[in-house]
Structure 1
Amino acid sequence: MLLLVLLLAPILRFALFLTLPAGNGTNVRIIDLEKGYTPRRIADELERAGIVSSSRLFVIYTRLSGNAGRLQAGEYRFSDAMRPAEILRRMVSGEVYAQRFTVPEGYSIYQVAELLGERRIFDRDAFLRAATDPRLLASLDIDGTSVEGYLFPSTYNVTKKMDEAALIRTMVAHGDKVYAERFAAEARRLGISRRQITILASLIEKEAVSPAERPLISSVFHNRLRKGMRLQSDPTAVYGIRAFGGNVTKQDIERATPYNTYLISGLPPGPIGNPSEGAIEAALHPAQTAYLYFVAKGDGTHHFSATLDEHNAAVRTYLRGEAELRTERPSLTGSR
């Protein structure tokens, strides 16, 4: 009888090890398992961190399951409430820990870089260097001086193995896929290049507080381009200088930059932000209107006008203190 107990005890202990987690979930650890670690080294790391109750039993389980040679290096997030089977499954499948990072609609590369820096994911300046690297741009087939406009607004998983260029490639690849599936055929039919659409969509995104107004704002820009009028879009006056917060100064609109559509004709040389699907859709399909002007009403929407007289009246109604400046200088009565 004693012999039977002695024989069954290790089996029972192993069964309990597989069934019962090491803790109740209060211990959550990020564990970096480097390339070349043996199953024994990995099991020791897990036991030291309090994630498994026995490194020896974890090694035995790993070998019995046939996964000893399939464990992938990386940074993992484990809890002591996880059973050995789940821990092993994650390491075999390479489900490494990743920080989730969201690119908001319309954010410029400068704003994206600031967010990455604030989250301590990447250094701001290092990201901007990658975003303007000619070799990376060539490999991505981007005709421009930066990846501006092609960092598709979405949520991404950033792993420890990724560098700035890898994240940029992931964002651009996602945008390429969306564009190919949703917009490429229509753009070809209309005879408009992706770059032109992206530039126009970036202006629409920056100007539209309410997504419902994107087609109307798009119509203003399309109508102005058709008539040979300058776009006079406020966000273009501060691109590369500071983030657009809804207002620009006289100094801003008189500043000579390649992007300032108060001073240049047509579209700016590149996007001023990274537009969403909705903004791209609006750029391709503007509302059918006679509008040439719009002014912010102060509640997140705009008043749209077809004539300068109507626009100036709207400026007096909604901008008050700016009315005199806008009325005396028609060149400033553009889109806002």
Structure 2
Amino acid sequence: MRPALGRLFPQQYRKPVVSAIVASALVAMVAVSCLMLPPGDGSNVQLVDCGKGAPLARAAAEMKRKGVIRSATLLVVLARIKGIDGQVQAGTYQLNDGMSLSEILRKMVAGEIYANRFAVPEGYSIYQLAELLESRRIHPKVDFLAACSDKGVMQEFGIPGNTVEGYLFPATYNIMPNMKPVDTVRMMLRQFEKACGQLSPQLARGSARHRLVTMASIVEKEAVDPKERPLIASVFYNRLRKGMRLQSDPTAVYGVRPFAGKVSGDDVHRLSPYNTYRIKGLPPGPIGNPSAGAIQAAMKPQTSPYYYFVAKRDGTHFFSTTLDQHNIAVTKYLKNKGRNISSSGDVPGLRNDHPNFTDGR
């Protein structure tokens, strides 16, 4: 260094030159340090896409444009220094202007992509899911319902009927920002096939599976206590074998409103292909999306002599073999509960059975 300076600068200029070089280096270091600082306090939250196979520089430029970082070049250089520029995973990331460059790179290398976590509650119908998705600002209700009746999707997954009702498996899903409603439906259907494939080969596609899922959806709606699912399933199978109507309350309001534990006289008289107070046998399809436990109960119901059950005050049920036993239970548990339908048998054209009418045929 000294010989070179000696040749370039006389003695009297060496000290100022060195000072200038040092000062420039310090200024550069300060500038770099400033550029590495987060530009804000974290209040500016942005979604940034890192495309598969796209250079990191493209995502860095988007971050700079959205005010998440101060320098796109510095982010790329830092990634190269760390040797991780080729380890960044594709996806959409939620970043904010209070994050350091190192923190951003760590998140992108770890693949902590942004997604809406959405849980499908057990037994929810497609109509309830559509409202829930819209309230979470994930999908508009009308678009999700349209995806649920997409004929191409239904053919792809071997689902009969008019909608995918019953086949949107209750689980928690990561819904990406760019996903369309039909993509969400497909993801839930794939989870159904995966989960049910683990239960039994009996759940292969076809009419037998459709009947099983339909029964499971009714059991799911009726069973407040999951432990009662196999016993409730046995009641419905017993009634089917005897040619009795199922007379399940939740079927009377399907497609009209969510079942909340009560039905009215108008409900049980409603003309609907799903209303098992008016039709014999199973409805044409599921009335909700059952859990694995409900499907298991429909596959392997408990053996019992029961044909009736009525809800007790704690949410569990009292099961009866005969109509007389059932009517006594209805009087005991429902007379003073303020139900819209009592056990008095005063509904014209229908008689008192499960839990509201007596005949069931």
TM over 0.5: yes
Matches within 5 A, 1:182-201: 183-185=199-201, 193-201=208-216
Partner-residue secondary structure (3-state), 2:345 = helix
Partner-residue secondary structure (3-state), 1:325 = coil
Shift in CA distance, 192/169, structure 1 to aligned 2, threshold 3 Å? closer
Partner-residue secondary structure (3-state), 1:193 = helix
Shift in CA distance, 51/279, structure 1 to aligned 2, threshold 3 Å? same
Calculate the aligned-residue CA RMSD, in Å: 3.3
Matched with 2:245 is 230
Query: Is 1:96 equivalent to 2:113 in the alignment?
Result: yes
Displacement of 1:280 in angstroms is 0.7
Matched with 2:144 is 127
TM-superposition CA deviations, 1:38-76 (whole Å, max 9, x none)? 755643443465543433311323455677788777542
Q: Aligned partner of 1:167: which letter?
A: T
Displacement of 1:250 in angstroms is 1.3
Query: Is 1:293 equivalent to 2:313 in the alignment?
Result: no
Equivalent of residue 234 in structure 2, options 210, 219, 222: 219
Matches within 5 A, 1:1-336: 2=19, 3=21, 22=38, 26-27=42-43, 29-33=45-49, 42-47=59-64, 49=66, 51-62=68-79, 75-80=92-97, 82-88=99-105, 90-91=107-108, 95-181=112-198, 183-185=199-201, 193-320=208-335, 322-325=342-345, 331-334=351-354
Larger Rg: 2
Contact kept in structure 1, 2:49 and 2:59, CA below 8 Å: yes
Contact kept in structure 1, 2:330 and 2:355, CA below 8 Å: no
Q: Aligned partner of 2:169: which letter?
A: F
CA distance in 2, matches of 1:316, 1:10: 87
Identity of aligned residues (%): 47
Shift in CA distance, 323/239, structure 1 to aligned 2, threshold 3 Å? same
Q: Aligned partner of 1:325: which letter?
A: G
CA distance in 1, matches of 2:351, 2:57: 73
Shift in CA distance, 203/231, structure 1 to aligned 2, threshold 3 Å? same
Bigger drift between 143-152 and 51-60 goes to 51-60
Contact kept in structure 2, 1:21 and 1:80, CA below 8 Å: no
Displacement of 1:298 in angstroms is 2.6
Task: Give the gaps of 5 or more residues in structure 1.
Answer: none
Displacement of 1:9 in angstroms is 7.4
Partner-residue secondary structure (3-state), 1:78 = strand
How many corresponding residue pairs? 331
TM-superposition CA deviations, 1:13-54 (whole Å, max 9, x none)? 76x689x76279744612244869975564344346554343
Partner-residue secondary structure (3-state), 1:77 = strand
TM-superposition CA deviations, 1:78-115 (whole Å, max 9, x none)? 14554434423544676432111111000000000010
CA distance in 2, matches of 1:179, 1:17: 55
Task: Give the gaps of 5 or more residues in structure 2.
Answer: 1-17, 357-361
Partner-residue secondary structure (3-state), 1:323 = coil
Partner-residue secondary structure (3-state), 1:197 = helix
Partner-residue secondary structure (3-state), 1:262 = coil
Shift in CA distance, 222/275, structure 1 to aligned 2, threshold 3 Å? same
Displacement of 1:334 in angstroms is 2.3
CA distance in 2, matches of 1:21, 1:316: 73
TM-superposition CA deviations, 1:181-230 (whole Å, max 9, x none)? 1x223558xx9821111001000000011111111111101111122211
Contact kept in structure 2, 1:294 and 1:305, CA below 8 Å: yes
Shift in CA distance, 142/163, structure 1 to aligned 2, threshold 3 Å? same
Contact kept in structure 2, 1:237 and 1:259, CA below 8 Å: yes
Q: Aligned partner of 1:324: which letter?
A: S
TM-superposition CA deviations, 1:161-195 (whole Å, max 9, x none)? 101100000000001000011x223558xx98211
CA distance in 1, matches of 2:151, 2:289: 19
